[in-house]
Amino acid sequence: MACQSNLADGSEVGRLCEEVRDELGPVSVLVNNAGPFSMEPYVDLEREEWDRIWNVNVKAAYLCVKHLAPGMKELGWGRVVNVSAGSAYLRNHSIYTLAKEALITLTEEMAFELGPEINVNAVAPGQIAESADDIAEYDPTFVERSIEWTPLGRLATRREVAVIVAELCGPTYDIVTGVTIPIDGGWRLPRF
């Protein structure tokens, strides 16, 4: 089943969740994976762009959980995985960095609020190999520099991210909640 919604509009998020519940019943697994990107410097960032990036990356995740967590609680089991980004560890990706770091904090706080029935975790993928061309529009040297800096010497793939997200939704990680798993080949590790 495919549903469409403008996640920048909070009322649309509620309608989407209601549509899914009406069609499928209570939701037990939620992956918050919407996240438009922006590197616009703060001094040039228009308020509308701030709202769009923030609302889709952070507010929509909060609203989806708000609408769907009660059903998970009733089921006695649920999983929420928030998709942050390696940009959460940078300080030059403007509102996107702020939103993705906020998603990590939201994950930790929701883990306290929603346990023990619901596990809430996040992943923070670094640059995705299949999306290398997208970031090159902003910075043509980013991918090459990222690969050179990464201890494993390559970028993460969409499949690798999907496998880890799927594992977080299954019984293997029953004891894990409130964590963010970087999927970046060690890229975020500080060096001197």
Our answer to whether residue 66 is catalytic in this structure is no
Answer whether the bond into residue 116 is a cis peptide, omega within 30°: yes
CA 99 and chain centroid, separation: 9
Residue among 73, 96, 138, 173 flagged as catalytic:
96
Residue among 73, 100, 138, 173 flagged as catalytic:
100
Angle at 58 between CA 116 and CA 20, to 5 degrees: 70
Name residue 38's amino acid.
Answer: S
Our answer to whether residue 100 is catalytic in this structure is yes
Q: What is the CA radius of gyration of the chain?
A: 17
d(CA 36, CA 47): 15
d(CA 169, CA 185): 22
Which two structure tokens, joined as six digits, stand for 84?
């942050």
Strands 29-32 and 78-83: parallel
Active site residues: 96, 100
